[in-house]
Amino acid sequence: MIHADVLGERARLSPGKTALVFVPTGERFTYRELNARAERAAALLCDRLGLVKGDRVGLLAHNRVEYVDLFFAAAKTGLVLVPLGTRLTPHELAFIAEDAGLSALVYGGEFAETVTALRAESAVPLGIALDGPAPGGDLSWAAELAGLPNAPFARTRCDGEDLHALLYTSGTTGKPKGVMVPHRMTAWNGWNTALCWGLSESDVSPVFTPLYHAGGLGAFFVPILAAGGTIVLHAGFDPAEIWATVAAERCTVVLGVPTIWKLLLEDPSFEAADLTSIRWLISGGAPLPLYLIDAYQERGIVFKQGYGLTEVGVNCFAMSVEESVAKKGSIGRPLMMTDARLVDEAGREVPAGEVGELCLRGPHVSKGYWRNLTATAAALDDDGFFHTGDLARKDEDGFFTIAGRRKDMLISGGVNVYPAEIEGELLLHPAVQDAAVVGVPDPTWGEVGVAFVVTRPGEILSKPDLLAFAEARLARYKLPREVVFVDALPRTPYGKVVKGELRDRFLAERGAA
């Protein structure tokens, strides 16, 4: 029987080992203590409040210990956890609440007003406030816990295909969709990542990305616990705090996204940071510019690049320390029991060296989208392969490199152009801080690229100078036809550029002109 209670299993094996350090309070929890908290949370939700297997429970909170409690309470009970983005508006949250059919909503005290506004649009039967006195008729988490009897909690039997969570996609196009994460997916992601990435009980990893995102939960959180290591949980992102904690807790492996690695690199605390405990760093979520890899390697740090997405588990590839240097920029080879293939638009596999859509199959793949058969059928083919929408190349050694998103690719004069490649070159200019390339319609070429560029503070950069720099590195057909200088790029909470917004803005302004 496969279930998602990785914490409970590890508590049996290494009960006295430190499982979690919560940075804001300095609290430290052993596996036994953390598991006991999760069992109390499970008893509160089911034994006291009457929720049953299959009920969906929303969670709106910043990173905190109760997030861990609830994640594993769902694993023990068969409840389905629905983590909610902390940056979403009440209107956006109301859509998710209705789509998921929430039976209960647990929320941090700082979101009380948001929850009140949400309820004006969507009915949520049961509200539970994590902090302070509960507003309106909602229950208090602390008060309900205090009223629980000291009785052992009997874990509900869960099948591997029972749902553990619904993780809603960021919705960069259209309404967000709920990715169905079964117990099998959570457990397999933890085990296989720990095995293939070489994680062990001696590893210590900071988590500062939001736990409502698949990357926060799956990239290191579950795998480190599966390996018996220690998670150092931050409430949010603070570069100076992170570098100080890496040194104080002797962190060994650290995950981030390209935006985070850039901010950590540029923070004044980086120069004096003690990095001697780090085995390696890894980036995911978006293609990683090579200049960032080079910058960290100058400090003697091994830098890997990973790959995953919410629908297929956030860890799908692996590479050794030596391979991360020899194959710089690659995401590695597929994990064990992971089938990967690259296909053209007709579904035919492409040969080594050519770009195709990355399709993945294995026990780490989700069940599709909640109550959305059309989207599920479009993503999961008859052979069980999930079509990621990402474009990649595979070399003769079996190493994959991401070329960009299929929807981002533009066809200019009949030739495929991959924005990620252009962005990587633009970011090498010393005056460029950030860059994104989108395709727009063109009467002559079909599509042409438009580069949106953020310059570094105090730097002055002209369009001709930037294009001359790019022309020395890129074929002419890849060069952007327009350069738009902006103050900042619109990004999702997890760092991905919202290219649709940039494209719409450009077309609207061109139309107005």
Residue ranges, comma separated, of all CATH 3.30.300.30 domains in the chain are 410-512
* Mean residue pLDDT across the chain: 92
| pLDDT above 80: residue 438 | yes
For domain 6-147+158-236, the CATH class is: alpha beta
- Residues 370-401 as b/e (b if ≥16 CB within 10 A, e otherwise) read bebeeebeebbeeeebbbbebbbbbeeeebbb
Q: Is the dihedral of CA 440, 442, 448, 452 positive or negative?
A: negative
Mean pLDDT along residues 69-88: 96
pLDDT at 404: 79
User: Which is more confidently placed, 126 or 412?
Assistant: 126
The answer to whether 507 touches 440, Cβ cutoff 8 Å, is yes
> CB neighbours (10 Å) of residue 157?
10
Using 50, 70 and 90 to split pLDDT, how confident is the model at 172? very low
| pLDDT above 60: residue 3 | yes
User: What is the rounded CA–CA span in Å between residue 295 and residue 187?
Assistant: 35
pLDDT at 493: 61
Report residue 342 CA to chain centroid gap: 23
Q: What is the pLDDT of residues 80-106, one digit of tens each?
A: 999 999 988 898 899 999 999 999 999
User: What is the rounded CA–CA span in Å between residue 466 and residue 455?
Assistant: 11
pLDDT at 487: 94
Using 50, 70 and 90 to split pLDDT, how confident is the model at 512? low
Amino acid code (one letter) for 165: A
Looking at domain 410-512, its CATH architecture is: 2-Layer Sandwich (3.30)
> CB neighbours (10 Å) of residue 410?
24
Residue ranges, comma separated, of all CATH 3.40.50.12780 domains in the chain are 6-147+158-236
pLDDT at 174: 61
Both structure tokens of 14: 């290494």
Q: What pTM was computed for the model?
A: 0.85
Burial class of 256 by CB neighbour count within 10 A (0 to 12, 13 to 18, 19+): buried
Q: Where are the alpha helices (DSSP H) in 312-456?
A: 321-326, 373-379, 419-426
Sequence-separated (6 or more) residues with CB below 8 Å from residue 200: 194, 227, 228, 229
pLDDT at 494: 62
